[in-house]
Structure 1
């Protein structure tokens, strides 16, 4: 038995591969804005434009892509797992036994919530390394190393397993609601823009881009304060330890900078979310259709 043909012929296999392509497209399209978001969340002052100008002039344009190797290397697998897990869970939560009808919106939201909880275990160490690299040359991080592997080894050597999973709790708190809103919004908006497409699987590229973009915006708006806290917790090293935990980080950040600090960088995050998730879902849907069409052609040739 050939593994790949059999794997791609299964529903899980197609969703796994399509999710991987979607994740890769999302990272490449939105990484500079993600770096800018991290810098905004960690700084006490400065607008997005001033920080961007300062980074490009002092560190060069390449600084906007610093640390991209870590999520790019892992996001294909991580996003593949996310979409495959979501497909399984959304069906598992659906009371209907019909495989022809799409899962209910309630099942979609519950599948997203379960997916967010599970994927946090994969995502937390990756985002830790990415944030340490993105914050290099700032006062927030003293991390050494110029590559994801070196930074990961340094964290493991100094902080151990616990250090690699610093911020796991806040990552779970962020991803559970965000993924529920994420998949629910995508399915709801695409059906509103193109009625019947959830069952037929046929919609145009504009529907995919807009639905995916708005899904990303919704997921960030509902969970953004958690992300700010996560960035601050994961950005600190043992030599620059400032926050003792989630509550301590919120209390000190609000006391020093006001409640608006919990929403700092939201504009950049929302802009990035629309671009990235439009690309993610478009790449996912196109890849899924390509694999389905190829499978249909093979079945017809066999017959």
Structure 2
């Protein structure tokens, strides 16, 4: 039997088309966020400044044990519906924008000398577009994830937040999200592309290289942007706080001031471990899923 031709992933990107890239990105995003959602819930709870001792956790194991024994494991999935509904369109826009900008700036041309700049710019543009769509869903998700959340339905949560705090509540964290996500995405895509090129210079089918490159890229990007993520969480959950200053937090700089006053330098590292633990496998899965779905859709 003759050997089947190998599928060259690297050769798919320039020719796959915007629709394929967007569909692959949507499926990859839903897969990524759904699988790692319980760890993300723990991360959110660790980042929230709470006066209740029951809502203060010392690590992933401690949080998992206490939440499972007092509230049940099911609570760790609260808010996943918001992620599923928002992640598909947001990741479709994300990957579609990324591939379009990378192609436009020459990042897909073999031997291009500006590939690093191209992938960084493409990643940043992709983030600005996708976060504008995802931010409201992320606010709803975190309001449902916090300790003793009153919300069980994403639609009830959205209505309540809009009625009590207005439309601005869904976007008060958007500048902070961009300040975090643009360097996160630029670092993630740059590290991913560089490691993938080193591990798989021929561009042949190699899921292992996509997983390793994606995992390392996710861990690096998550670690360096954790301080901004703590500020984002404070802003997105401020409406659930009983603390007057937190409840009236005005923006990113005010959030930084509160974090510094309450917890010092250590406060900016809240949730670092679960954030890295979440992003490392989820990014590996996301990139593997993205490349797989892109190849599968194109072959149909």
Q: Quick one: which of 79, 91, 99 aligns to 1:79?
A: 91
Give the conservation status (yes or no) of the 8 Å contact 1:125–1:165.
yes
* CA–CA distance in structure 1, aligned partners of residues 175 and 138 of structure 2: 13
| TM-score, scaled relative to structure 2 | 0.86
Residue 70 of structure 2 is aligned to residue 58 of structure 1: yes
Q: 1:279–1:122: structure 2 CA closer, same or farther, 3 Å change rule?
A: same
* CA–CA distance in structure 2, aligned partners of residues 75 and 218 of structure 1: 22
Query: 5+ residue gaps in structure 2?
Result: 1-14, 51-55
User: Aligned residue pairs: how many?
Assistant: 275
Could you tell me how far 1:289 is from its partner in structure 2? 1.2
Q: Which residue of 1 aligns with 2:4?
A: none
| TM-score, scaled relative to structure 1 | 0.85
* CA–CA distance in structure 2, aligned partners of residues 25 and 67 of structure 1: 15
Q: Which residue of 2 aligns with 1:235?
A: 237
* CA–CA distance in structure 2, aligned partners of residues 156 and 251 of structure 1: 26
Q: 1:70–1:293: structure 2 CA closer, same or farther, 3 Å change rule?
A: same
Give the conservation status (yes or no) of the 8 Å contact 1:132–1:234.
yes
* CA–CA distance in structure 1, aligned partners of residues 215 and 85 of structure 2: 23
Could you tell me how far 1:265 is from its partner in structure 2? 1.4
Residue 216 of structure 2 is aligned to residue 210 of structure 1: no
* CA–CA distance in structure 2, aligned partners of residues 55 and 239 of structure 1: 19
Give the conservation status (yes or no) of the 8 Å contact 1:128–1:166.
no
Give the conservation status (yes or no) of the 8 Å contact 1:213–1:273.
yes
Give the conservation status (yes or no) of the 8 Å contact 2:45–2:147.
no
1:166 alignment partner, SS class: coil
* CA–CA distance in structure 1, aligned partners of residues 16 and 111 of structure 2: 18
Q: Quick one: which of 37, 43, 49 aligns to 1:37?
A: 43
Q: Quick one: which of 136, 144, 166 aligns to 2:172?
A: 166
Q: Which residue of 1 aligns with 2:9?
A: none
Q: Which residue of 2 aligns with 1:300?
A: none
* CA–CA distance in structure 1, aligned partners of residues 164 and 276 of structure 2: 35
| Equivalences for residues 129-140 of structure 1 within 5 A | 129-137=140-148
Residue 122 of structure 2 is aligned to residue 88 of structure 1: no
